Amino acid sequence: MIFLKKLFLGVLFILFSTTLMAQEDCVLGVGFTDDAILIDVFQMSEMQQKQLADFKGELKHRNELLNAQLEDIATRHPQSTVEELTELAGKYNGIMDSMRLVQATIDKRVLATFNQKQYDRYLSLCKEANRTPYVVEPKVYGDSIIKKQ
């Protein structure tokens, strides 16, 4: 029984770590990247900083709910047989997929607040990191339009 749990946890670790290594999306990492870094790198305005904080709070709330689901299945799901462990792994992977989807959604919402110059910076960083950028339509702000005289 203890051996099966250790084996299961080892398999989960390997699956999770290879998933992270195979990641191709160019994530901003809202929630785990220090806000000051994002603010500095993308020279975010005060309004964008407020939106970043709001999105970060939303991400935290959603992930708390998903983490509660993970804890629930870990404590309540039977783990006596290989079949039960396989079913548990499927549920675990489903919740982890939801977490990745929530992260991508929040990152895209932050990117949607970027002006063209900020988004171009994001594209440049993604290219340097050999990652696939999220495609969003940069926002046009009234104060960033140069008026013709």
Report helix, strand or coil for 141: coil
For 37-53, how does the pLDDT look when each residue is reduced to its tens digit (9 = 90+)?
Answer: 999 999 999 999 999 99
Of residues 146 and 111, more confidently modeled: 111
| pLDDT at residue 50 in the model | 97
Residues 6+ apart with CB under 8 A from 24: 131, 132
Cβ atoms 116, 138 nearer than 8 A: yes
Token pair 């299945």 is found at: 73
How far apart CA 103 and CA 30 sit, in angstroms, is 7
Token pair 């002006």 is found at: 115
pLDDT at 130 over 90: yes
pLDDT-derived band of residue 147, with 50, 70 and 90 as boundaries?
A: low
pTM attached to this predicted model: 0.73
| pLDDT at residue 14 in the model | 46
For 74-91, how does the pLDDT look when each residue is reduced to its tens digit (9 = 90+)?
Answer: 888 888 889 988 998 999
Taking the mean position of all CA atoms in its chain, how far away is CA 144?
A: 29
Cβ atoms 52, 30 nearer than 8 A: yes
For 2-31, how does the pLDDT look when each residue is reduced to its tens digit (9 = 90+)?
Answer: 544 444 444 444 444 444 555 599 999 999
- Count the Cβ atoms, other than its own, within 10 Å of residue 38: 18
Torsion angle of alpha carbons 56, 136, 66, 80, nearest 10°?
A: -140
pLDDT at 148 over 50: yes
How far is it between the farthest Cα atoms of the chain? 78
| pLDDT at residue 2 in the model | 56
| pLDDT at residue 140 in the model | 85
pLDDT at 34 over 60: yes
For 85-114, how does the pLDDT look when each residue is reduced to its tens digit (9 = 90+)?
Answer: 899 899 999 999 999 999 999 999 999 999
